[in-house]
Structure 1
Amino acid sequence: MHIVMTSAGLGRIEDGAVAVLDAPYPDAAAVIEATGSLDALAGARVVRRIPLDDAAPELRAPVPRPRALWGVGLNYHSKAERTGRPIPDEPVLYLAAPASVCGPGAGVRIPAAQTAEMDYEAEIAVVIGRTLDRAAERECWPAVAAVTAANDLTARDVMRRTAAPVLAKSFPGFTPLGASLLGRDGIADPDAIGVRCRVGGEPRQDSSSADMIFPIPELLARISRYAALRPGDVVLTGTPAGTGQDRGDFLRPGDTVRVEIDGVLPLTTRIRT
Protein backbone atom coordinates (compact mmCIF):
# COMPACT_ATOMS: atom_id res chain seq x y z
CA MET A 1 0.00 0.00 0.00
CA HIS A 2 1.15 3.51 -0.85
CA ILE A 3 0.14 6.10 1.77
CA VAL A 4 0.54 9.86 2.14
CA MET A 5 -0.30 12.37 4.82
CA THR A 6 -2.13 15.45 3.53
CA SER A 7 -3.43 18.60 5.17
CA ALA A 8 -6.87 16.96 4.99
CA GLY A 9 -5.79 13.63 6.51
CA LEU A 10 -4.36 10.29 5.46
CA GLY A 11 -4.60 9.23 1.84
CA ARG A 12 -3.95 6.30 -0.47
CA ILE A 13 -2.26 6.79 -3.83
CA GLU A 14 -4.42 5.13 -6.45
CA ASP A 15 -5.32 5.70 -10.10
CA GLY A 16 -3.10 8.77 -10.43
CA ALA A 17 -4.64 10.56 -7.46
CA VAL A 18 -4.48 10.89 -3.70
CA ALA A 19 -7.63 9.35 -2.24
CA VAL A 20 -8.13 11.15 1.08
CA LEU A 21 -9.54 8.70 3.63
CA ASP A 22 -12.08 8.68 6.40
CA ALA A 23 -9.74 7.11 8.96
CA PRO A 24 -9.58 7.48 12.78
CA TYR A 25 -5.84 8.15 12.87
CA PRO A 26 -4.09 11.52 12.90
CA ASP A 27 -1.13 10.29 10.82
CA ALA A 28 0.53 7.14 9.49
CA ALA A 29 2.61 6.68 12.62
CA ALA A 30 -0.57 6.35 14.67
CA VAL A 31 -1.86 3.62 12.34
CA ILE A 32 1.41 1.72 12.63
CA GLU A 33 1.63 2.09 16.41
CA ALA A 34 -1.96 0.85 16.80
CA THR A 35 -1.96 -1.99 14.27
CA GLY A 36 1.63 -2.79 13.25
CA SER A 37 1.15 -1.98 9.56
CA LEU A 38 -0.69 0.22 7.08
CA ASP A 39 -3.22 -2.50 6.24
CA ALA A 40 -6.00 -0.91 8.31
CA LEU A 41 -6.21 1.84 5.67
CA ALA A 42 -6.94 -0.55 2.81
CA GLY A 43 -10.70 -0.49 3.29
CA ALA A 44 -11.10 3.07 4.52
CA ARG A 45 -13.78 5.14 2.78
CA VAL A 46 -12.60 7.77 0.30
CA VAL A 47 -13.92 11.27 1.04
CA ARG A 48 -12.02 13.31 -1.54
CA ARG A 49 -9.67 12.83 -4.47
CA ILE A 50 -6.74 15.11 -5.32
CA PRO A 51 -4.98 14.65 -8.68
CA LEU A 52 -1.43 13.56 -7.93
CA ASP A 53 0.00 16.41 -10.01
CA ASP A 54 -1.82 18.90 -7.73
CA ALA A 55 -1.10 17.19 -4.43
CA ALA A 56 2.39 18.47 -3.57
CA PRO A 57 1.24 21.53 -1.55
CA GLU A 58 -1.06 19.27 0.50
CA LEU A 59 1.58 16.71 1.54
CA ARG A 60 2.94 16.47 5.08
CA ALA A 61 5.48 14.24 6.86
CA PRO A 62 3.78 10.82 7.17
CA VAL A 63 5.61 10.14 10.45
CA PRO A 64 5.79 13.65 11.96
CA ARG A 65 7.19 12.75 15.40
CA PRO A 66 8.84 9.32 15.51
CA ARG A 67 9.01 7.64 18.90
CA ALA A 68 12.75 7.25 18.24
CA LEU A 69 14.85 8.42 15.31
CA TRP A 70 17.90 6.21 14.68
CA GLY A 71 20.70 6.70 12.17
CA VAL A 72 23.89 4.99 11.07
CA GLY A 73 27.04 6.93 10.30
CA LEU A 74 28.73 4.78 7.65
CA ASN A 75 26.71 2.12 5.85
CA TYR A 76 27.62 2.18 2.15
CA HIS A 77 30.76 0.70 0.64
CA SER A 78 30.92 3.61 -1.83
CA LYS A 79 30.97 6.13 1.01
CA ALA A 80 33.72 4.26 2.84
CA GLU A 81 35.78 4.10 -0.35
CA ARG A 82 35.28 7.78 -1.16
CA THR A 83 36.29 8.93 2.33
CA GLY A 84 39.08 6.37 2.80
CA ARG A 85 37.54 5.05 5.99
CA PRO A 86 37.81 1.37 6.93
CA ILE A 87 34.74 -0.86 6.77
CA PRO A 88 33.34 -0.90 10.34
CA ASP A 89 32.86 -4.14 12.24
CA GLU A 90 29.84 -2.64 14.00
CA PRO A 91 27.41 0.02 12.72
CA VAL A 92 28.17 3.57 13.87
CA LEU A 93 24.81 4.34 15.48
CA TYR A 94 23.26 7.54 16.83
CA LEU A 95 19.93 9.04 17.83
CA ALA A 96 18.66 12.38 16.54
CA ALA A 97 15.95 14.57 18.00
CA PRO A 98 12.47 13.67 16.64
CA ALA A 99 11.73 17.42 16.64
CA SER A 100 14.12 17.70 13.66
CA VAL A 101 11.53 16.05 11.37
CA CYS A 102 9.82 18.12 8.70
CA GLY A 103 7.70 17.26 5.69
CA PRO A 104 8.05 17.29 1.89
CA GLY A 105 8.48 20.67 0.28
CA ALA A 106 9.59 22.30 3.52
CA GLY A 107 11.98 25.22 3.61
CA VAL A 108 14.84 24.41 5.99
CA ARG A 109 16.88 27.26 7.42
CA ILE A 110 20.66 27.14 7.49
CA PRO A 111 21.66 27.72 11.14
CA ALA A 112 24.41 30.09 10.03
CA ALA A 113 25.58 30.92 13.54
CA GLN A 114 26.46 27.25 14.09
CA THR A 115 27.47 25.88 10.67
CA ALA A 116 29.04 26.77 7.34
CA GLU A 117 28.89 23.14 6.15
CA MET A 118 25.24 22.08 5.92
CA ASP A 119 25.15 18.84 3.96
CA TYR A 120 22.53 16.59 2.33
CA GLU A 121 22.31 12.80 2.75
CA ALA A 122 19.77 10.83 0.70
CA GLU A 123 18.63 7.82 2.72
CA ILE A 124 16.11 5.00 2.87
CA ALA A 125 14.07 5.44 6.05
CA VAL A 126 12.51 2.35 7.62
CA VAL A 127 9.41 2.60 9.83
CA ILE A 128 9.17 -0.17 12.42
CA GLY A 129 5.84 -2.03 12.71
CA ARG A 130 6.50 -4.63 15.40
CA THR A 131 8.78 -4.58 18.44
CA LEU A 132 12.29 -5.88 17.85
CA ASP A 133 14.14 -6.76 21.05
CA ARG A 134 17.32 -8.84 20.67
CA ALA A 135 15.81 -10.03 17.40
CA ALA A 136 17.28 -12.52 14.97
CA GLU A 137 18.05 -11.14 11.53
CA ARG A 138 15.32 -13.29 9.94
CA GLU A 139 12.72 -11.60 12.20
CA CYS A 140 13.57 -8.06 11.21
CA TRP A 141 12.27 -7.48 7.67
CA PRO A 142 8.82 -8.95 8.53
CA ALA A 143 8.69 -6.43 11.41
CA VAL A 144 9.07 -3.45 9.05
CA ALA A 145 5.83 -1.55 8.36
CA ALA A 146 7.00 0.71 5.53
CA VAL A 147 9.83 2.65 3.95
CA THR A 148 10.04 6.28 2.95
CA ALA A 149 12.61 8.83 1.78
CA ALA A 150 14.78 10.83 4.15
CA ASN A 151 17.23 13.69 3.78
CA ASP A 152 19.52 13.31 6.78
CA LEU A 153 20.81 16.88 6.82
CA THR A 154 24.08 17.24 8.72
CA ALA A 155 26.20 20.16 9.92
CA ARG A 156 29.63 18.67 9.18
CA ASP A 157 31.62 21.29 11.07
CA VAL A 158 29.38 20.85 14.13
CA MET A 159 30.10 17.12 13.92
CA ARG A 160 33.86 17.76 13.91
CA ARG A 161 33.68 20.38 16.63
CA THR A 162 31.49 18.45 19.06
CA ALA A 163 31.92 14.79 18.00
CA ALA A 164 28.16 14.56 18.68
CA PRO A 165 25.95 13.43 15.76
CA VAL A 166 22.84 14.32 17.77
CA LEU A 167 23.89 18.00 17.70
CA ALA A 168 24.94 17.98 14.04
CA LYS A 169 21.63 16.46 12.91
CA SER A 170 18.97 17.82 15.27
CA PHE A 171 18.49 21.41 14.13
CA PRO A 172 14.88 22.27 13.23
CA GLY A 173 13.95 20.72 9.88
CA PHE A 174 17.15 18.69 9.56
CA THR A 175 15.26 15.40 8.99
CA PRO A 176 12.84 15.81 6.08
CA LEU A 177 10.70 12.65 5.68
CA GLY A 178 8.25 11.66 2.93
CA ALA A 179 6.66 12.35 0.59
CA SER A 180 4.92 8.96 0.89
CA LEU A 181 5.14 5.62 2.69
CA LEU A 182 5.41 2.35 0.77
CA GLY A 183 4.20 -0.65 2.77
CA ARG A 184 6.66 -3.51 3.20
CA ASP A 185 4.61 -5.79 0.94
CA GLY A 186 5.18 -3.38 -1.94
CA ILE A 187 8.96 -3.89 -1.77
CA ALA A 188 10.11 -6.89 -3.80
CA ASP A 189 13.65 -7.01 -2.40
CA PRO A 190 15.05 -5.00 0.55
CA ASP A 191 18.52 -5.43 -0.97
CA ALA A 192 17.55 -3.70 -4.23
CA ILE A 193 16.00 -0.36 -3.20
CA GLY A 194 17.35 2.50 -5.29
CA VAL A 195 18.43 5.77 -3.64
CA ARG A 196 19.24 8.94 -5.57
CA CYS A 197 19.76 12.64 -4.86
CA ARG A 198 19.78 15.80 -6.96
CA VAL A 199 20.78 19.28 -5.84
CA GLY A 200 19.46 22.05 -8.06
CA GLY A 201 18.65 19.40 -10.67
CA GLU A 202 22.24 18.08 -10.75
CA PRO A 203 22.66 14.35 -9.96
CA ARG A 204 24.76 13.92 -6.81
CA GLN A 205 24.03 10.42 -5.44
CA ASP A 206 22.92 7.24 -7.23
CA SER A 207 23.11 3.86 -5.51
CA SER A 208 20.94 1.15 -3.96
CA SER A 209 20.61 -0.83 -0.76
CA ALA A 210 22.66 -3.57 -2.46
CA ASP A 211 25.76 -1.49 -1.58
CA MET A 212 24.98 -1.36 2.15
CA ILE A 213 27.65 -2.59 4.55
CA PHE A 214 24.95 -3.71 6.98
CA PRO A 215 21.79 -4.64 5.00
CA ILE A 216 18.51 -3.46 6.47
CA PRO A 217 17.58 -6.70 8.33
CA GLU A 218 21.09 -7.01 9.79
CA LEU A 219 21.16 -3.33 10.79
CA LEU A 220 17.84 -3.64 12.63
CA ALA A 221 18.97 -6.83 14.37
CA ARG A 222 22.19 -5.17 15.53
CA ILE A 223 20.35 -2.13 16.93
CA SER A 224 17.93 -4.44 18.74
CA ARG A 225 20.80 -6.07 20.63
CA TYR A 226 21.19 -2.82 22.58
CA ALA A 227 17.82 -1.05 22.40
CA ALA A 228 14.33 -2.28 21.61
CA LEU A 229 12.87 -0.90 18.40
CA ARG A 230 9.18 -0.09 18.84
CA PRO A 231 6.30 0.46 16.40
CA GLY A 232 6.55 3.95 14.95
CA ASP A 233 10.33 4.20 15.37
CA VAL A 234 12.20 5.39 12.28
CA VAL A 235 15.63 4.06 11.28
CA LEU A 236 17.69 5.99 8.73
CA THR A 237 19.88 3.44 6.98
CA GLY A 238 22.88 5.46 5.77
CA THR A 239 23.86 7.39 2.66
CA PRO A 240 25.97 6.52 -0.40
CA ALA A 241 28.87 8.52 -1.82
CA GLY A 242 28.25 11.88 -3.44
CA THR A 243 27.41 14.09 -0.47
CA GLY A 244 28.67 17.63 -0.16
CA GLN A 245 31.34 16.34 2.22
CA ASP A 246 32.68 14.16 -0.60
CA ARG A 247 32.64 17.03 -3.09
CA GLY A 248 33.73 19.88 -0.79
CA ASP A 249 30.54 21.67 -1.85
CA PHE A 250 27.93 22.36 0.82
CA LEU A 251 24.36 23.62 0.68
CA ARG A 252 23.56 27.28 0.11
CA PRO A 253 20.39 29.38 0.43
CA GLY A 254 18.23 28.81 -2.64
CA ASP A 255 19.33 25.20 -3.19
CA THR A 256 16.66 22.56 -3.73
CA VAL A 257 17.45 18.97 -2.72
CA ARG A 258 15.44 16.12 -4.25
CA VAL A 259 15.70 12.62 -2.74
CA GLU A 260 14.31 9.68 -4.69
CA ILE A 261 13.74 6.24 -3.15
CA ASP A 262 12.31 3.50 -5.37
CA GLY A 263 8.54 3.21 -5.04
CA VAL A 264 8.14 6.39 -2.97
CA LEU A 265 7.12 9.90 -4.06
CA PRO A 266 10.14 12.22 -4.34
CA LEU A 267 11.12 14.23 -1.26
CA THR A 268 12.01 17.84 -2.03
CA THR A 269 13.56 20.28 0.43
CA ARG A 270 14.30 23.97 -0.08
CA ILE A 271 17.29 25.52 1.69
CA ARG A 272 16.80 29.05 2.99
CA THR A 273 18.47 31.66 5.17
Structure 2
Amino acid sequence: MNKKILIPTDFSKNSLNAVRYIMALYPDRACSFYLLHSYEVDPFSIRGSAYILPERGHEPHDIAQRETEEKFRIFLKELSVFTTNTEHRITTIVTFETLLKAAKEAVAKQDIDMIVMGTKGMTGATTLLFGTNAIKLMEGVTECPVLAVPEHLEIKPPKEIVFPTDYKGPYKKRDLVYMINIAEKHKSNICVLHIKKSEQLTRNQIEGKALLESILTNVDHSFHELNTVGVQDGITGFIESRNSDMIAFTNQKHSFFSNLFSKPLVKKLGYYSKVPVLVLKHSK
Protein backbone atom coordinates (compact mmCIF):
# COMPACT_ATOMS: atom_id res chain seq x y z
CA MET A 1 0.00 0.00 0.00
CA ASN A 2 1.32 3.42 -0.96
CA LYS A 3 2.36 5.52 2.04
CA LYS A 4 1.68 9.26 1.83
CA ILE A 5 4.13 11.51 3.65
CA LEU A 6 3.99 15.29 3.98
CA ILE A 7 7.32 17.10 4.39
CA PRO A 8 7.31 20.86 5.07
CA THR A 9 10.45 22.39 3.64
CA ASP A 10 12.28 25.71 3.75
CA PHE A 11 14.92 24.38 1.29
CA SER A 12 17.57 24.24 4.01
CA LYS A 13 20.11 21.46 4.51
CA ASN A 14 18.29 20.13 7.56
CA SER A 15 15.11 20.02 5.47
CA LEU A 16 16.95 18.01 2.82
CA ASN A 17 18.26 15.73 5.56
CA ALA A 18 14.72 15.09 6.76
CA VAL A 19 13.67 13.95 3.28
CA ARG A 20 16.71 11.69 3.04
CA TYR A 21 15.97 10.23 6.48
CA ILE A 22 12.35 9.32 5.76
CA MET A 23 13.29 7.87 2.36
CA ALA A 24 15.88 5.69 4.12
CA LEU A 25 13.25 4.70 6.67
CA TYR A 26 11.11 3.30 3.85
CA PRO A 27 13.78 2.36 1.27
CA ASP A 28 11.86 -0.37 -0.56
CA ARG A 29 8.28 0.77 -0.15
CA ALA A 30 6.07 2.73 -2.53
CA CYS A 31 5.74 6.23 -1.08
CA SER A 32 4.28 9.52 -2.21
CA PHE A 33 6.21 12.43 -0.73
CA TYR A 34 4.45 15.80 -0.69
CA LEU A 35 6.96 18.61 -0.23
CA LEU A 36 5.17 21.60 1.26
CA HIS A 37 6.51 25.14 1.25
CA SER A 38 4.45 27.70 3.12
CA TYR A 39 5.50 31.08 1.74
CA GLU A 40 5.05 34.25 3.75
CA VAL A 41 5.28 37.50 1.85
CA ASP A 42 6.93 40.21 3.90
CA PRO A 43 5.33 42.59 4.29
CA PHE A 44 1.67 41.73 3.71
CA SER A 45 -0.52 44.37 2.15
CA ILE A 46 -2.38 46.13 4.93
CA ARG A 47 -5.83 47.67 4.71
CA GLY A 48 -6.86 49.20 8.01
CA SER A 49 -6.14 46.63 10.67
CA ALA A 50 -6.57 43.59 8.42
CA TYR A 51 -3.74 41.63 6.84
CA ILE A 52 -4.51 40.78 3.22
CA LEU A 53 -2.79 37.76 1.69
CA PRO A 54 -1.46 38.38 -1.82
CA GLU A 55 -3.66 36.92 -4.54
CA ARG A 56 -2.71 35.10 -7.73
CA GLY A 57 -2.09 37.62 -10.51
CA HIS A 58 -0.75 40.26 -8.12
CA GLU A 59 2.94 41.06 -8.26
CA PRO A 60 3.94 39.94 -4.70
CA HIS A 61 2.24 36.59 -5.26
CA ASP A 62 3.71 36.00 -8.70
CA ILE A 63 7.24 36.95 -7.65
CA ALA A 64 7.04 34.66 -4.63
CA GLN A 65 5.66 31.86 -6.80
CA ARG A 66 8.51 32.12 -9.31
CA GLU A 67 11.16 32.28 -6.57
CA THR A 68 9.69 29.24 -4.83
CA GLU A 69 9.50 27.21 -8.04
CA GLU A 70 13.18 27.93 -8.68
CA LYS A 71 14.09 26.92 -5.12
CA PHE A 72 12.13 23.69 -5.57
CA ARG A 73 13.99 22.99 -8.84
CA ILE A 74 17.36 23.29 -7.07
CA PHE A 75 16.15 21.35 -4.03
CA LEU A 76 14.85 18.44 -6.14
CA LYS A 77 18.10 18.36 -8.10
CA GLU A 78 20.04 18.00 -4.83
CA LEU A 79 17.62 15.35 -3.64
CA SER A 80 17.89 13.33 -6.86
CA VAL A 81 21.42 12.31 -5.86
CA PHE A 82 20.00 10.33 -2.93
CA THR A 83 16.82 8.87 -4.48
CA THR A 84 17.18 5.32 -5.75
CA ASN A 85 13.68 3.87 -5.32
CA THR A 86 11.63 4.37 -8.50
CA GLU A 87 8.48 3.94 -6.40
CA HIS A 88 9.26 7.08 -4.42
CA ARG A 89 7.12 9.79 -6.03
CA ILE A 90 7.50 13.49 -5.22
CA THR A 91 4.84 16.20 -5.49
CA THR A 92 5.43 19.85 -4.56
CA ILE A 93 2.91 22.12 -2.85
CA VAL A 94 3.26 25.90 -2.54
CA THR A 95 0.88 27.83 -0.31
CA PHE A 96 0.50 31.25 1.29
CA GLU A 97 -1.27 29.83 4.35
CA THR A 98 0.35 29.53 7.76
CA LEU A 99 2.31 26.30 8.06
CA LEU A 100 -0.05 24.66 10.55
CA LYS A 101 -3.15 25.46 8.51
CA ALA A 102 -1.46 24.40 5.26
CA ALA A 103 -0.30 21.13 6.82
CA LYS A 104 -3.73 20.28 8.20
CA GLU A 105 -5.34 21.06 4.83
CA ALA A 106 -2.83 18.84 3.02
CA VAL A 107 -3.37 16.03 5.51
CA ALA A 108 -7.10 16.13 4.85
CA LYS A 109 -6.92 16.60 1.07
CA GLN A 110 -4.18 14.04 0.34
CA ASP A 111 -5.05 11.56 3.12
CA ILE A 112 -1.54 11.93 4.55
CA ASP A 113 -0.18 9.12 6.74
CA MET A 114 2.67 11.02 8.40
CA ILE A 115 4.28 14.46 8.58
CA VAL A 116 8.08 14.63 8.64
CA MET A 117 9.90 17.85 9.44
CA GLY A 118 13.55 18.79 9.68
CA THR A 119 14.51 20.77 12.76
CA LYS A 120 17.42 23.09 13.43
CA GLY A 121 17.86 22.43 17.13
CA MET A 122 19.03 25.08 19.55
CA THR A 123 20.88 27.71 17.57
CA GLY A 124 20.54 30.61 19.96
CA ALA A 125 19.46 31.61 23.44
CA THR A 126 15.94 32.50 22.29
CA THR A 127 15.49 29.56 19.92
CA LEU A 128 13.18 26.77 21.02
CA LEU A 129 14.53 23.27 20.82
CA PHE A 130 12.66 22.19 17.70
CA GLY A 131 11.83 25.67 16.48
CA THR A 132 8.44 27.33 16.62
CA ASN A 133 7.06 25.68 13.48
CA ALA A 134 8.01 22.17 14.54
CA ILE A 135 6.48 22.65 17.99
CA LYS A 136 3.25 23.93 16.40
CA LEU A 137 3.00 20.85 14.20
CA MET A 138 3.90 18.43 16.98
CA GLU A 139 1.27 19.93 19.26
CA GLY A 140 -1.33 21.03 16.71
CA VAL A 141 -1.60 18.10 14.30
CA THR A 142 -3.71 15.30 15.74
CA GLU A 143 -4.80 13.64 12.49
CA CYS A 144 -1.54 11.75 11.87
CA PRO A 145 1.89 11.15 13.42
CA VAL A 146 4.58 13.85 13.21
CA LEU A 147 8.26 12.95 12.99
CA ALA A 148 10.81 15.66 13.86
CA VAL A 149 14.25 14.96 12.38
CA PRO A 150 17.20 16.92 13.83
CA GLU A 151 19.90 18.42 11.68
CA HIS A 152 23.23 16.63 11.22
CA LEU A 153 21.54 13.30 11.97
CA GLU A 154 23.37 10.28 10.59
CA ILE A 155 21.16 8.51 8.07
CA LYS A 156 20.85 4.99 9.47
CA PRO A 157 18.00 2.65 10.48
CA PRO A 158 16.85 2.98 14.09
CA LYS A 159 17.90 -0.03 16.14
CA GLU A 160 16.39 1.20 19.39
CA ILE A 161 13.23 3.26 19.94
CA VAL A 162 12.54 4.67 23.40
CA PHE A 163 8.88 4.90 24.40
CA PRO A 164 8.56 6.81 27.72
CA THR A 165 5.25 6.24 29.47
CA ASP A 166 3.53 6.49 32.84
CA TYR A 167 1.50 3.33 32.03
CA LYS A 168 -1.73 5.26 32.42
CA GLY A 169 -2.70 4.87 28.76
CA PRO A 170 -5.21 4.07 27.48
CA TYR A 171 -3.23 2.34 24.73
CA LYS A 172 -4.63 1.40 21.34
CA LYS A 173 -2.70 -0.61 18.79
CA ARG A 174 -3.83 1.67 15.97
CA ASP A 175 -2.17 4.60 17.78
CA LEU A 176 1.14 2.77 18.09
CA VAL A 177 1.12 1.12 14.66
CA TYR A 178 3.68 3.49 13.08
CA MET A 179 6.19 2.89 15.85
CA ILE A 180 5.56 -0.85 15.65
CA ASN A 181 5.89 -0.90 11.85
CA ILE A 182 9.22 0.94 11.99
CA ALA A 183 10.46 -1.49 14.63
CA GLU A 184 9.34 -4.52 12.59
CA LYS A 185 10.89 -3.22 9.38
CA HIS A 186 14.26 -2.38 10.88
CA LYS A 187 14.29 -5.07 13.58
CA SER A 188 14.38 -2.34 16.21
CA ASN A 189 13.92 -2.90 19.91
CA ILE A 190 11.27 -0.78 21.60
CA CYS A 191 12.43 0.27 25.07
CA VAL A 192 9.43 1.06 27.22
CA LEU A 193 10.73 3.50 29.82
CA HIS A 194 8.90 4.23 33.07
CA ILE A 195 10.22 6.83 35.48
CA LYS A 196 8.82 5.87 38.86
CA LYS A 197 7.14 8.43 41.06
CA SER A 198 6.23 5.86 43.70
CA GLU A 199 7.40 2.39 44.70
CA GLN A 200 4.23 0.61 43.62
CA LEU A 201 2.24 0.87 40.42
CA THR A 202 -1.44 1.60 40.79
CA ARG A 203 -3.99 -0.90 39.56
CA ASN A 204 -4.60 1.31 36.54
CA GLN A 205 -0.86 1.37 35.75
CA ILE A 206 -0.54 -2.41 36.14
CA GLU A 207 -3.40 -2.91 33.68
CA GLY A 208 -1.88 -0.33 31.32
CA LYS A 209 1.49 -2.07 31.38
CA ALA A 210 -0.13 -5.45 30.65
CA LEU A 211 -2.10 -3.98 27.74
CA LEU A 212 1.02 -2.35 26.33
CA GLU A 213 2.91 -5.63 26.56
CA SER A 214 0.15 -7.43 24.66
CA ILE A 215 0.21 -4.79 21.90
CA LEU A 216 3.99 -5.17 21.52
CA THR A 217 3.90 -8.98 21.50
CA ASN A 218 5.10 -9.38 17.90
CA VAL A 219 7.98 -6.91 18.08
CA ASP A 220 11.19 -6.91 20.08
CA HIS A 221 10.65 -4.89 23.23
CA SER A 222 11.91 -4.47 26.77
CA PHE A 223 10.69 -2.73 29.91
CA HIS A 224 12.87 -0.38 31.94
CA GLU A 225 12.40 1.62 35.13
CA LEU A 226 14.29 4.55 36.58
CA ASN A 227 14.07 5.70 40.19
CA THR A 228 14.41 9.07 41.89
CA VAL A 229 15.19 11.13 38.81
CA GLY A 230 13.38 13.94 37.08
CA VAL A 231 11.58 13.11 33.86
CA GLN A 232 13.78 15.13 31.53
CA ASP A 233 17.05 14.07 33.20
CA GLY A 234 15.96 10.44 33.29
CA ILE A 235 15.04 10.23 29.63
CA THR A 236 18.10 12.20 28.57
CA GLY A 237 20.44 9.98 30.54
CA PHE A 238 18.75 6.80 29.33
CA ILE A 239 19.01 7.75 25.66
CA GLU A 240 22.58 8.95 26.02
CA SER A 241 23.80 5.86 27.88
CA ARG A 242 22.31 3.48 25.29
CA ASN A 243 22.85 5.55 22.12
CA SER A 244 19.17 5.12 21.29
CA ASP A 245 18.07 6.14 17.80
CA MET A 246 14.52 7.46 18.19
CA ILE A 247 12.03 8.51 20.83
CA ALA A 248 8.25 8.14 20.50
CA PHE A 249 5.36 9.70 22.43
CA THR A 250 1.59 9.48 22.28
CA ASN A 251 0.15 12.96 21.91
CA GLN A 252 -2.95 13.52 24.00
CA LYS A 253 -4.12 16.22 26.38
CA HIS A 254 -2.97 15.84 29.97
CA SER A 255 -0.66 13.02 28.88
CA PHE A 256 2.95 12.22 29.61
CA PHE A 257 3.81 13.88 26.30
CA SER A 258 2.03 17.15 27.03
CA ASN A 259 3.62 17.36 30.47
CA LEU A 260 7.05 16.58 29.06
CA PHE A 261 6.85 19.20 26.35
CA SER A 262 5.53 22.03 28.45
CA LYS A 263 7.55 25.15 27.72
CA PRO A 264 9.88 25.02 30.75
CA LEU A 265 10.93 21.47 29.86
CA VAL A 266 11.32 22.07 26.14
CA LYS A 267 14.21 24.44 26.80
CA LYS A 268 15.92 21.89 29.06
CA LEU A 269 15.72 18.81 26.87
CA GLY A 270 18.73 19.65 24.76
CA TYR A 271 19.56 16.05 23.98
CA TYR A 272 16.42 15.59 21.92
CA SER A 273 17.89 17.77 19.23
CA LYS A 274 20.12 14.79 18.46
CA VAL A 275 17.50 12.05 17.96
CA PRO A 276 14.32 11.93 15.87
CA VAL A 277 11.10 12.38 17.83
CA LEU A 278 7.98 10.52 16.66
CA VAL A 279 4.75 12.05 17.97
CA LEU A 280 2.03 9.43 17.62
CA LYS A 281 -1.57 10.48 17.21
CA HIS A 282 -4.09 9.59 19.90
CA SER A 283 -7.49 8.36 18.76
CA LYS A 284 -10.46 8.98 21.02
What band does the TM-score fall into relative to the shorter chain? under 0.3
Structure of greater relative contact order (alpha carbons < 8 Å, 6+ residues apart): 1
Larger helix percent: 2
Normalised by the size of structure 2, how large is the TM-score? 0.26
Answer with 1 or 2: which has the greater Rg: 2
